[in-house]
Amino acid sequence: SLDEWRDLITASVRHFISRYGRHEVRQWHFEIWNEPDLHFFFSGTQDDYQELYATAARAIKAIDPELRVGGPATATGNWVDTFIAACHRRGDPLDFFATHGYAVQAGQYLDEFGGAELFLDPKPYALADYFISVRERIRASPLPNLPLHITEWNSSYSPRDPVHDHYANAAFILDQVEHAGDAVDSMAYWTISDVFE
């Protein structure tokens, strides 16, 4: 129910303002959903997500027009062109574009858990170049000045991947950040800790 979704968003944001203060919450970036282009996170279509996004974004802006809202936080830069164009055409609020990225490719063999084995992309700047390409697509869109936030990124998305604990990962991270340069407005390393509750 989009009505119940709107009510949940409204109640949550009002609670945040009550608890942390309007000045603090205006510094936040509200990202709607997580990787809706992957069916195990969101079972609907892109049009379904657009409605979900629009409902949340309008509810947030109704509380305070200065609150920042964006998306779609897709897994691999999907929907850049179509999401921005739809927001522009429909008049849906969009203060920033968010996406995720990882420098791995699935192998043709299975790991010890029966899942696809992951390998680092052999191109050294595949991840940073991907971020730069998303920036270029935003510049070519009807909203060319949107900030770009990479709200998940790392060498691998698997919390069990030993590459996270390898000494070379630190150099990899710094190299990607330097190469991406000013193409992105922020990069949120996934994740601060490999320990999940």
Catalytic residue of the set 4, 24, 31, 35? 35
Tell me if residue 174 falls in helix, strand or coil.
helix
- CA angle at 148 for the pair 142 and 153, rounded to the nearest 5°: 140
Catalytic residue of the set 31, 112, 152, 197? 152
Residue 69: φ, ψ to 5°: -135, 145
Residue 178: φ, ψ to 5°: -65, -45
CB 161 within 8 A of CB 112: no
**Strands across the sheet with 148-154, in order?**
29-31, 68-74, 96-102, 148-154, 186-189
Task: Reply yes or no on whether 152 is catalytic.
Answer: yes
Element (H, E) at 20: helix 2-20
CB 23 within 8 A of CB 30: no
User: Nearest to residue 176, comparing CAs of 161, 188, 165, 166?
Assistant: 188
Task: Reply yes or no on whether 35 is catalytic.
Answer: yes
Would you name the residues annotated as active-site residues? 35, 152
